[in-house]
Amino acid sequence: MTQQHYAPVDDPAGWTAAQIGGREGFTHRLSGAQLDAIDALVEKTSGKLPHEITSADFSSPEVDALMAAARWQLLHGAGAVILSGIDAGRYDLAGHERLYWGLGTHIGTGVEQSPRHDFIAHVQREEGGPPRGYTTDMELRSHTDFHEVLSLYSLRTSASGGESGAVSLLAIHNVMARERPDLLAALYEGYYVDWHTRAEPLEEKLPFFWTIDGKTSGFNNRVFMRYAREPERLPAKLREALACYDEIALRPELRADFLLEPGEMFFWHNFLVLHSRQQFHDTPEHRRLLLRLWLNVPGGRPLHPLMRRLTAEIDEYHRRVPEPA
């Protein structure tokens, strides 16, 4: 049963960058033993397509312990983990994809991310075709998506720009609870979510915050909110609450802003941490390339029932849509 919680939330995922020292607060530098174990598993799985690899295929005592700790951190700790220290030049692209997918299987179940049926999306600037955030070089403001854990794996950086930002959704909640508790009701009520593939519009509101079994989480993706292009049609109290939310999310003492270096892998709980990206600029010598995973997490954090329904709907759409000619 969902509840509304207007007081500050006591949760390890309610961190601020000032408290944890920015990205260092959730960075783990891989040991030599861990890197050796990963190396052996990349070689062991060389005959498989990345999305065919299971956690049993990509298992060793070192990797199992590493990813169990990462999963715990995502679900019960800060909600974010950076794994640092992989040599981006050691493997070809197929090797990096096996490595990435193999580690991801210890956290959740990877899914197709678009009508391209891409289990591992290539996050890079593309010419032509319908623009999506991961195929453009534009700025992406702080947001969530629709799957419980998201991840990015940096293989190449651009000539300039492309910094990631992470801010705790619970830290935003707690600042609002202290400074503007009167606005939290509008965010717990939420608003309608729409997209063009639905036969009929949803008549149930998706909240920006929910509390289930004593755990508070949330969602923030304005692109899919009804009247996203006509914000003046939103209720006045919701507009005020969202403006306050956005102002708090930009406070430097809350945010961890960083460049994900080649060989670094960032996992975050999508309903605890907002992600953003600065605009970037490629040159022929420096073309940005990151890999991305969307992971559903069995036994994960309590999610709002409508959030689960929408995630399943997206997954089903991507599975059944015909592959582009």
Give me the pLDDT at residue 325, please.
56
Q: How many CA atoms lie within 13 A of 167 on its CB side?
A: 26
Third-level CATH fold of 2-315: Double-stranded beta-helix (3.60.130)
- The region that residue 264 occupies, defined by phi over 0 for left and psi between -120 and 50 for alpha, beta otherwise, is beta
C-alpha–C-alpha distance, residues 325 and 323, integer Å: 6
User: Model confidence over 39-48: pLDDT tens digits?
Assistant: 999 999 999 9
| Rounded-to-10 torsion of CA 216, 198, 316, 79 | -20
User: Model confidence over 86-101: pLDDT tens digits?
Assistant: 999 999 999 999 999 9
Range with the poorest average pLDDT among 12-26, 125-139, 146-160, 203-217: 125-139
Whether 248 shows a pLDDT value over 90: the answer reads yes
C-alpha–C-alpha distance, residues 140 and 131, integer Å: 13
Give me the pLDDT at residue 4, please.
84
Whether 230 shows a pLDDT value over 70: the answer reads yes
Enumerate the domain spans of the chain: 2-315
What DSSP string runs through 57-100?
Answer: TT--HHHHHHHHHHHHHHHHSSSEEEEE---TTSS-HHHHHHHH
